[in-house]
Amino acid sequence: MIPYQIYQALIDEHVNELQAAARLHERATEARLAAANRTRRRSRLKDAARHLFALAHVGRGAHARRGAPAVSTSTGSTAGPMGCVA
């Protein structure tokens, strides 16, 4: 082989190795980003579940208070709530 052809073959081989390394790096980056997105998605779902649980808990607490017997603080007055005409 002519030295130029040997040189060209070595350069082609080196370029192919660099391209393979770049593809490997790109795949690794995509996998890392996909894992990060899954983690973020999971935390968003957890946050949404916590929020819904908190709303349900507050809703249950308000419902329980509504059903509780009312304690009367009036002294027998027949007046209605403030602003109402009895």
- The model's pLDDT over 27-84, given as tens digits with 9 standing for 90+, comes to 999 998 888 777 666 677 888 888 888 888 776 655 444 555 555 455 555 666 666 6
CA dist 24 to 10, 13, 18, 35, 54, Å? 21, 17, 10, 17, 45
Alpha carbons within 13 angstroms on the beta-carbon side of residue 16 total 6
Q: Model confidence over 15-29: pLDDT tens digits?
A: 999 999 999 999 999
**pTM of the shown model:** 0.42
pLDDT at 76: 55
